[in-house]
Amino acid sequence: MTTRIDTRFAELKKQGRSAFVTYVMAGDPDLRTSLDIVKALPKAGADVIELGIPFTDPMADGPSIQAAGLRALKGGMTLKKTLELVRAFRKDDDVTPLVLMGYYNPIYIYGVDKFLADAKTAGVDGLIIVDLPPEEDDELCIPALKAGLNFIRLATPTTDDKRLPAVLANTSGFVYYVSIAGITGAAAADANAVGEAVARIKRHTSLPICVGFGIRTPEAARAIAQKADGSVVGTALVDALKNSLDAEGRATAKTVNAVAELTAALAQGVKGAKQAAE
Amino acid sequence: MTIAKPNSYRSGPDERGHFGIFGGRFVAETLMPLILDLEQAYTAAKADPAFQAEMNGYLKNYVGRPSPLYFAERLTEHLGGAKIYLKREELNHTGSHKVNNVLGQIMLARRMGKKRIIAETGAGQHGVATATLCARFGLECVVYMGAVDVERQQPNVIRMEMLGAKVVPVQSGTRTLKDAMNEALRDWVTNVHNTFYCIGTVAGPHPYPTLVRDFQSIIGNETKAQMQEVEGRLPDSLVACIGGGSNAMGLFHPFLDDPTVEIFGVEAAGHGLTQLHAASIAGGRPGVLHGNRTYLLMDADGQIQDAHSISAGLDYPGIGPEHSWLHEIGRVNYLSATDDEALAAFQLLSKLEGIIPALEPAHAIAKVMELAPKRSKDHLMVVNLSGRGDKDVPQVGDILRGNSK
């Protein structure tokens, strides 16, 4: 199977550049604004979109993304509405890869088979489910692959060479390398250490490797783009969104632009980077 | 769906940490290598007689075990039915059953060369036990506690600080135990290389539910021997309160394959099961949180709901996965007691037996007040008195004087 993710990374490889992957929370701060933001991301230079599924207890995320999830939930966001958002986005954009990122419980409660069918129909290309390690592949990973969705696994600094094959076994689309042992939005990633880790993972797989956690600025995104097949930015975009809200946490006229402008600046950083030699 | 009865209720979990559909390992990849290391270290420790011998030494001379099995004569007379025995876990060093498990985990941490210990706590009993053993073995200790619980459990916060632990009030979410657990997991993800996460109950990713159960099973093993000595036979029923369920699992587990023993777990019904409560089995359904699949309180969209109990130690929207399995398979009867019932039991035990229980086991006593009168006079009932009430005295005092609710 070839998904939008595979197609996009093949194109980028031809162009000799690294991908810029953006993360925003679905429904933050409300469904309408969130849809406008997601629509604005490809125009501002995002190559791949990660869309967060709001969850009350995001244990691998930092305060910014946790707060974004709670804002979305307060605004009435659900997994069902997250899929509606994807469907609405697909009306105008049939090429930008879109990956849902979140935790397992909302999907488990929705029902795995129904979720996979609905996600595929809505236009989702892949899943990143933080709390499903390869040890729990039967839950969602294997059914997702059968349903034609990519299942993107996280590899981390604690994933050693012995464990990497297990982590990569059922991974598809790309590998998400978590650049630091920590939560989202924490300490900055060290580009050299990331370069070594990417090289190490590349010895085990031919999949593209995108790097996230700790990338906040165009310079940092550029440094990572020189070492990896993609850089992921989430917390910085979520913070830009938050800073545009009014005192009650509602969207303002500035909100969509605040995210789009930072996306454009970060995309410039990534696109200015020369691809590191393999 | 009917579930086939197993040959033994004590053989679980399977090698992947599953009790039926419950349990498992639902954590971020960063933590997986650590959890696999822990499992290996635990398997090795279990097979090492030196580990057991060292632990037995501390259990006897530091914790003060065995804890007595006390015949509650006045409570028995008052209720007019079953003969009620209290397993006196509140007499342990640090004032609750929590110390049994913490001792085991700290000994494991030392074997693994970890110098920094983190823990989460609700009522503070697990935090106090962890701070105590960290002091004893010279380890750095950080305890995460919901900001709401920091307020209502001041005596334990002060104790932890006196013992040298850093208590971190958690301001996120509902600011109670569930959020403290999220923060502890975040700390662990960030400090994986030098940190051991000492989980306080029979929940979390495999192997925690198993190892905590094993360390707490000393409660049931002693009860079995003590009852044999006093009455010459097994008890007829067991009763224990359940938040995550570690004191209950410790008492129950050694008796699971004794079919004549009736077993009752008591959840916190808070303001009542149709209102705010913490009864995950009575009011929840299976879901995935904090590393395991188990009964959880949640909304239709799988979002975790706030739990409520008068007792900070029971105020958690989940329950250990083995309890979920024992419920579905029908081996243990799960009941619930409200805040008001627990308060009444708290006062009754204090006045009749001169024992002020923690609000957690007061929930178990509340159900004993219902169950015991319906049983015959030769029925032997054991209640796990999992902790003493010193920490709850200010809170209960305020309630009884009408200053708060």
Instruction: Please give the average pLDDT of every successive group of 10 residues along chain B, which has 405 residues.
Output: 76 96 96 94 97 97 98 98 98 98 98 97 94 98 95 92 98 86 91 94 97 98 98 98 97 98 98 95 97 98 94 92 98 98 98 98 98 98 97 92 72
| Residue A165 burial class via C-beta count within 10 angstroms: exposed 0-12, middle 13-18, buried 19 and up | exposed
| Residue A103 burial class via C-beta count within 10 angstroms: exposed 0-12, middle 13-18, buried 19 and up | buried
**How many other C-beta atoms can be found within 10 angstroms of the C-beta atom of residue A193?**
13
Q: Compute the distance between CA of residue A46 and CA of residue A37 in angstroms, rounded to an integer.
A: 11
Q: Tell me, what's the pLDDT at B4?
A: 67
The answer, yes or no, to whether the previous bond of B361 is cis (omega within 30 of 0) is no
Q: Compute the distance between CA of residue B210 and CA of residue B202 in angstroms, rounded to an integer.
A: 7
Q: Residues near A1 by Cβ (< 8 Å), separated by ≥ 6? A: A148
Residue with token string 């000595």: B229
What's the token pair of residue A81? Answer: 């509405």
Q: Which of B25, B193, B300 shows the shortest C-beta gap to A136?
A: B25
Q: Residue type for A194, please?
A: V
* Radius of gyration, alpha carbons of chain B: 19
**How many other C-beta atoms can be found within 10 angstroms of the C-beta atom of residue A63?**
15
Query: Across-strand partners of A50?
Result: A23, A99
Q: Is B203 on the interface with A (CB under 8 A)?
A: no
Q: Residues near B46 by Cβ (< 8 Å), separated by ≥ 6? A: B214
Q: Tell me, what's the pLDDT at B208?
A: 98
Q: Is B29 on the interface with A (CB under 8 A)?
A: yes
Q: Compute the distance between CA of residue A32 and CA of residue B379 in angstroms, rounded to an integer.
A: 64
Helix axes B393-400, B339-353, angle to 10 degrees: 110
Q: Which of B28, B296, B303 shows the shortest C-beta gap to A73?
A: B303
Q: Tell me, what's the pLDDT at A184?
A: 78
Q: Is A143 on the interface with B (CB under 8 A)?
A: no
User: At B77, is the secondary structure helix, strand, or coil?
Assistant: helix
Q: Is A161 on the interface with B (CB under 8 A)?
A: no
Please identify among residues 74-133 of chain B the ones whose CB lies closer than 8 Å to any CB of chain A. Answer: none
Query: Across-strand partners of B141?
Result: B117
What's the token pair of residue A93? Answer: 């954009």
Whether B369 contacts B340, CB under 8 Å: no
Establish, for the pair of chains A and B, how many residue pairs have beta carbons separated by less than 8 Å. Answer: 118
Please state the φ and ψ torsions of residue A128, each to the nearest 5 degrees: -125, 110
What's the token pair of residue A157? Answer: 């600094």
Active site includes A84? no
Q: Tell me, what's the pLDDT at B75?
A: 98
Q: Compute the distance between CA of residue B72 and CA of residue B380 in angstroms, rounded to an integer.
A: 11
Please state the φ and ψ torsions of residue A161, each to the nearest 5 degrees: -60, -30
DSSP letter, residue A95: S
Q: Do A79 and B302 lie within an 8 Å CB cutoff?
A: yes
Instruction: Pick left, alpha or beta for residue A185 (phi over 0 → left; psi -120 to 50 → alpha; otherwise beta).
Output: left
Q: Which helix (H) or strand (E) holds B29?
A: none
**Length of chain B, please?**
405
Q: Residues near B345 by Cβ (< 8 Å), separated by ≥ 6? A: B337, B357, B362, B363, B365, B366, B368, B369
Q: Tell me, what's the pLDDT at B404?
A: 61
| Residue B388 burial class via C-beta count within 10 angstroms: exposed 0-12, middle 13-18, buried 19 and up | buried
Q: Is A100 on the interface with B (CB under 8 A)?
A: no
Q: Do B29 and A62 lie within an 8 Å CB cutoff?
A: no
**How many other C-beta atoms can be found within 10 angstroms of the C-beta atom of residue B38?**
23
Residues with pLDDT less than 70, chain A: 274-278
Q: Compute the distance between CA of residue B269 and CA of residue B248 in angstroms, rounded to an integer.
A: 17
Whether B285 contacts B296, CB under 8 Å: yes
Closest residue by Cα to residue A38 from A81, A105, A112, A90: A90
Q: Tell me, what's the pLDDT at A180?
A: 85
Q: Residues near B245 by Cβ (< 8 Å), separated by ≥ 6? A: B201, B202, B203, B265, B319, B320, B322, B323
What's the token pair of residue A66? Answer: 């946790």
The CA-to-CA distance between both ends of chain B, in Å, stands at 42
Whether B382 contacts B395, CB under 8 Å: no
Whether A3 contacts A97, CB under 8 Å: yes
Helix axes A112-122, A79-92, angle to 10 degrees: 20
Q: Is B194 on the interface with A (CB under 8 A)?
A: no
Q: Which of A66, A79, A178 shows the shortest C-beta gap to B172?
A: A66
Half-sphere exposure in the Cβ direction for A97 (13 Å, CA): 28
**How many other C-beta atoms can be found within 10 angstroms of the C-beta atom of residue B93?**
18
Q: Which of B28, B173, B304 shows the shortest C-beta gap to A154?
A: B28
Q: Tell me, what's the pLDDT at B7?
A: 87
Planar angle of CA A222, A225, A229, nearest 5 degrees = 165
Query: Across-strand partners of B264?
Result: B239, B333
Q: Do B34 and A158 lie within an 8 Å CB cutoff?
A: yes
Q: Do B289 and A57 lie within an 8 Å CB cutoff?
A: yes
CA B182 to chain centre: 18
Q: Compute the distance between CA of residue B203 and CA of residue B171 in angstroms, rounded to an integer.
A: 23
Q: Residues near A143 by Cβ (< 8 Å), separated by ≥ 6? A: A112, A113, A116
Active site includes A92? no
Q: Do A108 and B288 lie within an 8 Å CB cutoff?
A: yes
CA distances from B253 to B21, B215, B248, B363 (A): 19, 11, 8, 20
Mean pLDDT across chain A: 94
